[in-house]
Structure 1
Amino acid sequence: MGDSQDWTAVPGAAERARSMLATTWSCAVTADGGREELVGAHTVAEDGLVLLRVPDDSALRTAAICAPRGEPSAVLEFADVAPVPVRNRIRARLWLAGWFTAVDEHLAFRATRVVLRQSSGATVVALDEFAAAGPDPLAPAEARLLTHLADAHPDAVERLTRLVDPESLHAATRVQPLAVDRHGLTLRIERTRAHSDVRMPFHTPADDIAQLTERMHVLLTQASAASCPRALQRQRADRDR
């Protein structure tokens, strides 16, 4: 990071994957023993090792014990769900292929392949980058921050649309905050039968809530100084009636 302005900054794939592991509450596990949906059962070590708590009689535990050591034997799937109600709430999916070992009351899962799918497409994440990356510092608070912005400050969301290209707002029926990370805020623009996302990068990354507050204040100040395309659209519509 630095102090230079970077209007294209987005989280890297490895950081995005680690953020999902740190914040998603559930995962699906497919192994020789079948498929199991686990809720609140995983934790993540600093190097990306995933630890799962499963019942002693779980088929996953049996599969882990019986599988050849070090050979890919299972796939973990995580879904990143937007905390604010929007159309198509799945923001990304993450797949980890790898193998289990039994460690005390846990199953330790070591990934041999990491694939992240976002709206832009699928990315294979390099294992060394995955191990070295950490979650976005705002990830633990993202759900609370977005929900508060949508519920308590819809006027601020409306004001931020002044920074959006008017063409992107054509026929918009609703705008909601979709995501926030240290690099910027993403808005989802919904239409009757479609939607699109608009990224609003911060002038410099935010590493904590205090810095995020300052970055949002800068965006809102810029928005206040801009014309309001949605208001102009409403005015034209009123005149045409």
Structure 2
Amino acid sequence: METVRPDQLTPQARVVGPDGEVFLLFPADSPAVRAATHAQDDELAAVLEITDVAPVSVPHRIRGRAWVSGWLTCVPGLAEPGGMMVRLEVGEVYVDDLWGATDVEAEDFARASVDPLVAHETELLQHLHAAHGDQLQELCALLGERADAALQEDGRRLRAVPLALDRFGLRVRFVGKQCFDARFDFPEPVRDVTELRRAMHTLFEAASH
């Protein structure tokens, strides 16, 4: 019996189509491609598992997981030679992340818009972590009793690590004897990096007074 390696079932690229379907690029000899080819007109059920890992060094680095289940079919002609594009028709989605665990309807998944900061989040978080540690630390001033309780318990200065960033706000993980997260919402959703800079400046100013 042939043993399938995990990397053989990991898509080389993925993109969400206009109708909410997920297109996955595999090598042409991938077991996923073979299974979808052999299934032909039959429905081939599959689950795509996605793990979201924080791009900065922080305890408990996995920010969330998602499971997208549906049916696979091959889409010839969309990939370069040696590859095959596979279409996952989404049936249901389950997300377990920093915001909680929930089911997502296929229709809601299809209608969801991409966060305008998603392409920049890794670079922005790494920059905040490397160059703005003192300002992140000052955000403790906005936590009130929560920070005081953590300081009394630990007796040491809390370390602030930027954990997640989107158009609605910044999430920071405070690390001491125990870890806890705090969410700092922007006054209004930002639409691009320029608006983000203004929102971050406002946030840091509020913490410094």
Which residue is 1:50 aligned to? 22
Structure 1 length as normaliser, TM-score? 0.73
Give the residue type in structure 2 aligned to 1:112.
Answer: G
Are the equivalent residues in 2 in contact too, given 1:79–1:92 (CA < 8 A)? Answer: yes
Q: Distance in 1 between matches of 2:12 and 2:159?
A: 33
Correspondence list, 1:97-136, <5 A: 97-104=69-76, 105-136=84-115
Which deviates more from structure 2 when the two are superposed, residues 135-144 or residues 58-67? Answer: 58-67
Give the residue type in structure 2 aligned to 1:175.
Answer: A
Would you say 1:77 and 2:49 are equivalent positions? yes
Q: Distance in 2 between matches of 1:113 and 1:34?
A: 26
Displacement of 1:100 after TM fit?
0.9
Which deviates more from structure 2 when the two are superposed, residues 203-212 or residues 50-59? Answer: 50-59
Give the residue type in structure 1 aligned to 2:163.
Answer: L
Question: Taking structure 1 as reference, are residues 85 and 99 closer, same or farther at Cα in structure 2, changes over 3 Å only?
Answer: same
Would you say 1:176 and 2:161 are equivalent positions? yes
Q: Distance in 2 between matches of 1:83 and 1:71?
A: 37
Aligned with 1:214: secondary structure? Answer: helix
Structure 2 length as normaliser, TM-score? 0.84
Aligned with 2:57: secondary structure? Answer: coil
Displacement of 1:40 after TM fit?
3.6
Correspondence list, 1:164-203, <5 A: 164-168=143-147, 169-170=150-151, 171=154, 173-192=158-177, 194-203=178-187
Aligned with 2:19: secondary structure? Answer: coil
Correspondence list, 1:6-85, <5 A: 36-38=8-10, 40-67=12-39, 69=41, 71=43, 73-85=45-57
Q: Distance in 1 between matches of 2:42 and 2:204?
A: 52
* Per-residue deviation, residues 107-153 of structure 1 (Å, max 9, x unmatched): 11111010101145421001111001111111110111110011011
Question: Taking structure 1 as reference, are residues 65 and 207 closer, same or farther at Cα in structure 2, changes over 3 Å only?
Answer: same
Which residue is 1:213 aligned to? 197
Q: RCO higher in 1 or 2 (8 Å CA, sep ≥ 6)?
A: 1
CA RMSD in angstroms comes to: 2.0
Indicate which of 133, 141, 153 corresponds to 2:132: 153
Displacement of 1:184 after TM fit?
0.6
Which 5+ residue runs of structure 1 have no aligned equivalent? 1-32, 226-241
Question: Taking structure 1 as reference, are residues 120 and 184 closer, same or farther at Cα in structure 2, changes over 3 Å only?
Answer: closer
Displacement of 1:70 after TM fit?
6.7
Which 5+ residue runs of structure 2 have no aligned equivalent? 77-83
Displacement of 1:44 after TM fit?
2.3
Aligned with 1:94: secondary structure? Answer: strand
Aligned with 1:73: secondary structure? Answer: strand
* Per-residue deviation, residues 23-44 of structure 1 (Å, max 9, x unmatched): xxxxxxxxxx885442642222
Q: Distance in 2 between matches of 1:165 and 1:64?
A: 55
Aligned residues: 192
Give the residue type in structure 1 aligned to 2:108.
Answer: E
Q: Distance in 2 between matches of 1:123 and 1:132?
A: 17
Q: Percent identity?
A: 38
Are the equivalent residues in 2 in contact too, given 1:72–1:112 (CA < 8 A)? Answer: no
